[in-house]
């Protein structure tokens, strides 16, 4: 038998439906929210030794929240993950309180654990170029090598996520001057395409033995199906080992490098936010911290009075 009452289960589903319809959250985000809130409601059922209906949820206290937080910490849930779970619970409670007309202060006043945000780990400009060159040497098949180079070039040259690059179809080739990309939460953005990226994709299309189809994936696996992102991750891993780069040199690091190198060259933060498809400028601002850290490192190493 489910630990969650039918009324709570229905409320949770209505909340998720409203998030999907009104704020365009991705399916992955909604599934994560569902899991986090379901886990929270299940804990409260066990904590009070009875299934929690909507009325019971209205009576949750600060002590109940502390018990849940302690249980999470005892289960080795990290600070970052716990903060994410608490955020999901608060978002659900804010919606539920407005719908049912109760005061959610006990839940909303719960403080998230502090954690240090990890800064993006971009590659140096010469390392990013070397990564693309080395990726090309990982396959004895010319068309596979061209494919891998084309994908990694899109990550670095256009700032695409790997999922976005692999979502391109035959209709997108040859690449236009700009691409319309649908990113996280179906947020659309326009991304300029560098001539280098266009040339890399053109070369791949010429060499690919599988016929191009407007409604099929542009990037294909060896057997002709859509390319699995794990293939690109493995190729980049091999290349980084050959180059002696750290484990942080992943496909996603190429996207970080795109943003950081643009910022270092004087790019506008708002423009970079649009190019990356970040919903919030605060997400993009992490790159200013990266750039400041790099500047301070140079300053401390080279200033005469350092």
Q: How far apart are the first and last CA of the chain?
A: 67
Q: Is 14 a catalytic residue?
A: no
Assess contact for 47 and 10: CB atoms under 8 A. no
Same domain, 75 and 161: no
Candidate list 161, 198, 220, 256, residue with the active-site label: 161
What's the confidence (pLDDT) of residue 120?
A: 54
Instruction: Please check whether residue 281 lies inside any domain of the structure.
Output: yes
Q: Which domain holds residue 66?
A: 6-108
- Whether residue 251 lies inside any domain: the answer is yes
Residue 59 is a catalytic residue? no
Q: What is the CATH number of the domain that holds 204?
A: 1.10.443.10
Looking at the structure, tell me whether residues 144 and 175 fall in a common domain: yes
Considering the candidates 48, 80, 184, 203, report the single residue annotated as catalytic.
184
Mean pLDDT in consecutive groups of 10 residues from the start of the chain, 306 residues? 77 87 73 91 86 80 92 86 89 90 89 66 83 91 95 88 91 88 72 87 96 93 94 93 88 80 56 50 46 48 49
pTM above 0.85, yes or no: no
Give the residue from 24, 69, 21 showing the smallest Cα distance to 44: 69
- The gap from C-alpha 93 to its chain's centroid, in whole angstroms, comes to 25
Look at residue 237 in the predicted model and tell me its pLDDT: 93
Same domain, yes or no: 141 and 73: no
Residue ending a domain, among 76, 108, 140, is 108
The answer to whether position 114 is within a domain reads: no
Angstrom distance (rounded) from CA 222 to CA 237: 19
Contacts of 270 (CB under 8 A, 6+ apart): 281
Q: Where are the alpha helices (DSSP H) in the chain?
A: 6-22, 27-48, 54-58, 62-74, 79-100, 105-108, 125-135, 142-158, 162-166, 195-207, 229-243, 251-264, 269-276, 281-284, 286-302
User: What is the CATH classification number for the domain harbouring 32?
Assistant: 1.10.150
User: How many domains in the chain?
Assistant: 2
Whether residue 83 is found in the same domain as residue 210: no
């Amino acid at each position: 038998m489910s630990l969650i009452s039918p009324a709570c289960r229905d409320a949770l589903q209505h909340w998720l439906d409203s998030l999907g319809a009104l704020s365009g959250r991705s399916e992955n985000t909604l599934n994560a929210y569902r899991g986090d809130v379901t886990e929270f409601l299940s804990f409260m059922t066990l904590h009070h030794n009875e299934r929690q209906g909507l009325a019971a949820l209205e009576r949750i206290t600060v002590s109940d929240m502390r018990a849940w937080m302690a249980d999470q910490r005892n289960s080795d849930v990290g600070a970052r993950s716990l903060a994410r779970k608490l955020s999901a619970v608060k978002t659900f409670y804010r919606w539920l309180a407005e719908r049912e007309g109760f005061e959610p202060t006990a839940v909303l006043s719960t403080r998230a654990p502090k954690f240090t945000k990890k800064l993006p780990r971009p590659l140096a400009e010469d390392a990013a170029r070397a990564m693309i060159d080395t990726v090309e040497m990982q396959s004895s098949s010319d068309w596979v090598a061209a494919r891998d180079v084309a994908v990694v070039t899109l990550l670095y040259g256009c700032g695409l996520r790997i999922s976005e690059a692999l979502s391109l179809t035959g209709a997108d080739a040859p690449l236009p001057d700009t691409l319309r990309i649908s990113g996280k939460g179906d947020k659309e953005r326009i991304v300029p395409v560098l001539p280098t990226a266009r040339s890399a994709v053109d070369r791949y299309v010429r060499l690919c033995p599988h016929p191009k189809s407007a409604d099929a994936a542009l990037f294909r696996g060896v057997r002709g199906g859509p390319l699995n992102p794990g293939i690109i991750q493995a190729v980049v891993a091999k290349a980084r080992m050959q180059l002696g780069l750290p484990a942080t040199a992943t496909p996603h690091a190429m996207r970080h490098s795109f943003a950081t190198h643009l910022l270092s060259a004087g790019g506008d933060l708002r423009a970079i936010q649009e190019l990356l498809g970040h919903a919030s400028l605060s997400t993009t601002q992490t790159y200013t911290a990266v750039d400041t850290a790099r500047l301070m490192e140079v300053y401390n190493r080279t200033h005469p009075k350092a």
